Amino acid sequence: MTNTHISQIAILVAVIFLLAWSGVFAQPTSFHALANSTIKKSPRLKKEHCHHELRSQRIAITCDDRYLVVPNKEAHSISVLEVRDEHGKDAQNLVTEIKLDEGTSGWHGREPTHVALTPDDRFALVSAKTGDFKNGQLIVISLGGMTPDSIRIVGQYLSTDKHAFVGSEPRGIGITPNGRFALLANHTSADVSIISLQHLRPQHPEKSRLHLVARVPTGGHPTAIAVSDDGDPLDRDEKVYVTRLFSELRAGGADSVPIVAFTGPDGERVTATRGDGFDNGKVGIVDAFDLGQAINIRELLCFLSWWRQMVQ
């Protein structure tokens, strides 16, 4: 073994030690129901801007309660509405409507469903399908000065792209409290995309870029997302919650008659009852994972891949 190999091994051991010390291996990521989970409460700090996108939604309002961003699924368009004027009075004004199916905006898409605004209200993220309905996409809209000329699409990330930011049928979108990451529920591919927003450029929106950090498998059909907010300036210490669209068979109880057996997510044999579709025969599941832990594991895997190439 050469001195170079010894140095590389020493670096690898040091990195693993630092990650273990920071807690990346402290607890395995859990994707099960949270019936007995306890969430640590942290003292809340005074916020300088609102955090209205901690959960996925089908309509978004700006921090000043003046504008709405509305995906129109059936019309294949995205509307921006003024609901309060500069004097604080109620208004009903259509600022602009971006029509995805006509291609007049230079971008094509279908059935936009969920929307999230960055904390500074400069950008909107919208999940939608591609023009052929076969794949998913994440659309980035610059809201600019909230005028018809300044509101425009500046990015479109498809499930067929090389880096696969988006899975099949993307649904709910959540943004971390300080706007550093977006979480996208990929309904059919059964995972959640963690996307970095740190290269959004309000002054030069056409140069804005998103970067995929990781895709976290959840199982089921993830649909809606919620992100915790402990009030500090960090985003990696937040927790992400994801609902599955479909329920699963409930494990057999004391008074139940076993009907079907199947293998659970951890390989265990589960006996279920009431497989006839009744609500009390099934259970809904909320998946949860630590954002920082998911990112750290991804970074470790990237480092190990680089190290393997170096020693070969």
Q: Which long-range contacts (CB under 8 A, 24 or more apart) does 201-205 make?
A: 202/120, 202/122, 202/123, 202/142, 205/122, 205/123, 205/142, 205/144, 205/152, 205/154
Would the pLDDT of 253 be above 90? no
- Distance, CA of 65 to CA of 139 (rounded, Å): 23
Residue 105: pLDDT band with limits 50, 70, 90? low
Q: Which residue bears the tokens 């309060």?
A: 84
Which whole number is the average pLDDT over 57-77?
Answer: 94
Q: What are phi and psi of 230, to 5 degrees?
A: -90, 5
pLDDT at 101: 75
User: Looking at per-residue confidence, does 254 or 85 come out higher?
Assistant: 85
CATH number of 31-247+284-295: 2.130.10.10
Q: Is the pLDDT confidence value at 12 over 70?
A: no
Q: Where are the domains of the chain?
A: 31-247+284-295, 250-283
Residue 220 has pLDDT above 80, yes or no: yes
User: What is the per-residue pLDDT for 282?
Assistant: 72
Give the pLDDT confidence score for residue 294 in this predicted structure. 85
Q: Residue 120 is which amino acid?
A: D
Specify the pTM: 0.74
What would the DSSP string read from start to end of 35-68?
TT--PPP-PPPPPSS--TTSB-BS-EE-TTS-EE
